[in-house]
Amino acid sequence: MKELVETIARALVDDPNQVRATEELEEETNVIKLTVAKEDMGRIIGKEGRTAKAIRTLLNAVSTKDNKKAILKIVE
């Protein structure tokens, strides 16, 4: 799941080398923390959060298929 988020984020940003995703386990939930360059933050969030919501929807679909729960946190 971490790789999916990194792949999507790298395709959206201007500086793909700054994209970092870490995966942690909190109470049976995978928490994926995404960090990008400050100037690319708007590209990841999108207008009214639409891009971030779309990434979360894809992550939810993949995690549900694996009978798991996942949350995406975008870290500044």
C-alpha atoms less than 13 angstroms from C-alpha of 14 in its C-beta half-sphere: 7
- State the CATH number of the domain containing residue 50: 3.30.300.20
Query: Which tens digit of pLDDT belongs to each residue from 19-58?
Result: 999 999 988 899 999 999 999 999 999 999 999 999 999 9
Question: Which range of residues forms the domain containing residue 36?
Answer: 2-75
For the chain, how many structural domains are there in total? 1
Enter the DSSP assignment of 76. -
Eight-state DSSP code of residue 62: H
Query: Tell me: the pLDDT tens digits for 62-75?
Result: 999 989 999 999 99
pTM of the entire predicted model: 0.89
Looking at residue 27, what is its pLDDT?
A: 87
- What pLDDT, on the 0 to 100 scale, is given for residue 66? 86
Query: Please, which residues have CB within 8 angstroms of residue 6's CB and are 6 or more apart in sequence?
Result: 19, 20, 21, 34
